[in-house]
């Protein structure tokens, strides 16, 4: 049976959820991955108000859509980040602005609330970010010691283990979207993050091949490295656009700007090898949703959202239950 194709609502959070449900259903999606911003899910409210939590799921059902996961990337980012500039003022509560530890305290509670919200909404996976206290040390100059990096992973474990206790209590798993600016951004750091948490079972990954591709990390190798930790899958494409002047660090150019060394693309219009990804998902027996996170700065999003849904449904296929030439033998 084909995997359900869902739409991650994060890039559509300017639209009321009911409006987006109508659009997603018309585009052909089977369900949604709801973002905990805009009016899509208020995690704190859903954690304490079961009626409100059910109303989110019921609204999707009214449009023939199912709910498979919720996501709280924004709050998760501030758990481990240094929080020492104004960028997160875009989404952190006003009363926390200018106070790094107040932002962290809010983020930790928000991520615990998201576990309870997921339980009340009847879903088993929360996707999101962790942030990182050591991302700014990515290039080792001034020189960075191994002790500094190790302290970053210890800090991650110290902050996230109590959050994951809440996930265990709620019977919900947390899936980190492996991504630059997070504690894990490639295969090496993903292994280290798991080790830092002593491989606890409630922590795994939201696989998004686009973030790996532009770093020149093989997405298929990631799946093979963590076959039992793939809790959710984002379908997103990217393309390296290196021109001899730019590099993969993006040259401080915004998405879609001419001259960037890489960019996100609508599904099927980039360079990610989705054929091999689907085959590997079959091998590791992943049966969860394929969630479209649509991003392409050069394309109308409604055109792209519809095209992406069709692309995923066309490229997905179920795993075989036999080797083809077994049919040659009698029974």
pLDDT, one tens digit per residue, over 79-93 is 999 999 999 999 999
Q: How many CB atoms lie within 10 A of CB 68?
A: 21
Locus of tokens 């200018």:
98
Give the CA count within 13 Å in the CB-facing half-sphere of 123.
Answer: 30
Cα 326 → chain centroid: 39
Answer yes or no: is pLDDT of 321 > 90: no
pLDDT of residue 327: 59
pLDDT of residue 164: 98
User: Could you tell me the end-to-end alpha-carbon distance of the chain, in angstroms, rounded to an integer?
Assistant: 24
Beta strand segments in the chain, E: 5-8, 31-35, 66-71, 125-128, 173-177, 203-207, 230-235, 237-240, 262-265, 290-292
pLDDT of residue 291: 98
Residues in the chain: 331
Selection from 69, 73, 47 nearest residue 230 by Cα: 69
At 86, list the tokens. Answer: 């104004």
pLDDT tens sequence across 238-283: 999 999 999 999 999 999 999 999 999 999 999 999 999 999 999 9
pLDDT tens sequence across 42-69: 999 999 999 999 999 999 999 999 999 9
pLDDT of residue 330: 58
Q: SS3 breakdown of the chain: % helix, strand, coil, rounded to 5? A: 45, 15, 40
pLDDT of residue 302: 98
**Where residue 325 falls among pLDDT bands split at 50, 70, 90?**
low
Locus of tokens 């809440």:
166
Give the CA count within 13 Å in the CB-facing half-sphere of 110.
Answer: 25
pTM score? 0.96
CA angle (221 as vertex; 124, 208 as ends), nearest 5: 45
Answer yes or no: is pLDDT of 322 > 90: no
What's the rounded Cα separation, in Å, for the pair 76 and 251? 26
Answer yes or no: is pLDDT of 230 > 70: yes
Inter-axis angle of helices 146-170 and 100-121, to 10 degrees?
30
CA angle (65 as vertex; 28, 234 as ends), nearest 5: 70
Mean pLDDT score, 127-136: 98
**Where residue 104 falls among pLDDT bands split at 50, 70, 90?**
very high
Q: Which domain holds residue 295?
A: 5-328
**Percent of the chain's residues with pLDDT above 70:** 97
pLDDT of residue 170: 98
Answer yes or no: is pLDDT of 18 > 80: yes
Selection from 189, 132, 187 nearest residue 160 by Cα: 132
Q: Is residue 46 within a helix (H) or strand (E), and if so which, with residue range?
A: helix 43-48
What is the three-class DSSP state of 251? helix
Mean pLDDT score, 9-26: 98
pLDDT of residue 329: 63
Provide the domain count of the chain. Answer: 1
What's the rounded Cα separation, in Å, for the pair 291 and 206? 10
CATH code where residue 154 lies = 3.20.20.150
**Where residue 319 falls among pLDDT bands split at 50, 70, 90?**
confident
What does the DSSP 8-state code read for residue 217?
-
Answer yes or no: is pLDDT of 40 > 90: yes
Furthest CA-CA distance within the chain: 74
pLDDT tens sequence across 145-192: 999 999 999 999 999 999 999 999 999 999 999 999 999 999 999 999
């Amino acid at each position: 049976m084909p995997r359900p194709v869902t739409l991650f609502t994060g890039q559509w959070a300017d639209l009321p959820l009911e409006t987006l449900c109508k659009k997603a259903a018309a585009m052909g999606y089977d369900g949604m991955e709801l973002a905990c911003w805009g009016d899509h899910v208020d995690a704190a409210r859903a954690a304490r108000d079961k009626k409100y939590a059910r109303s989110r799921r019921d609204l999707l059902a009214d449009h023939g859509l199912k709910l498979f996961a919720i996501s709280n990337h924004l709050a998760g980012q501030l758990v481990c980040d240094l929080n020492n500039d104004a960028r997160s003022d875009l989404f952190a509560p006003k009363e926390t602005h200018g106070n790094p530890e107040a932002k962290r305290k809010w983020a930790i509670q928000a991520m615990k609330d998201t576990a309870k919200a997921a339980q009340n909404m009847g879903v088993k996976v929360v996707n999101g970010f962790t942030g990182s206290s050591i991302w700014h040390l990515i290039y080792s100059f001034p020189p960075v010691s191994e002790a500094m990096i190790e302290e970053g992973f210890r800090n991650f474990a110290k902050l996230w283990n109590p959050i994951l206790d809440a996930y265990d209590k709620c019977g919900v798993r947390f899936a980190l979207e492996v991504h630059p600016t997070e504690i894990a951004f490639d295969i090496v750091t993903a292994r280290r993050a798991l080790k830092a948490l002593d491989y606890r079972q409630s922590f795994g990954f939201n696989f998004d091949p686009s973030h790996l591709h532009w770093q020149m990390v093989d997405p298929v190798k990631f799946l093979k490295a963590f076959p039992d930790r793939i809790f959710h899958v984002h379908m997103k494409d990217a393309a390296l656009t290196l021109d001899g002047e730019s590099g993969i660090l993006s040259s401080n150019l915004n998405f879609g700007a001419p001259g960037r060394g890489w960019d996100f693309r609508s599904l099927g219009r980039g360079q990610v090898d989705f054929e091999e990804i689907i085959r590997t998902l079959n091998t590791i027996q992943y049966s969860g949703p394929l969630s479209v996170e649509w991003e392409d700065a050069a394309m109308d999003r409604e055109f792209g959202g519809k095209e992406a849904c069709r692309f995923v449904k066309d490229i997905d296929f179920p795993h075989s239950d036999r080797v083809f030439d077994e049919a040659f033998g009698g029974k």
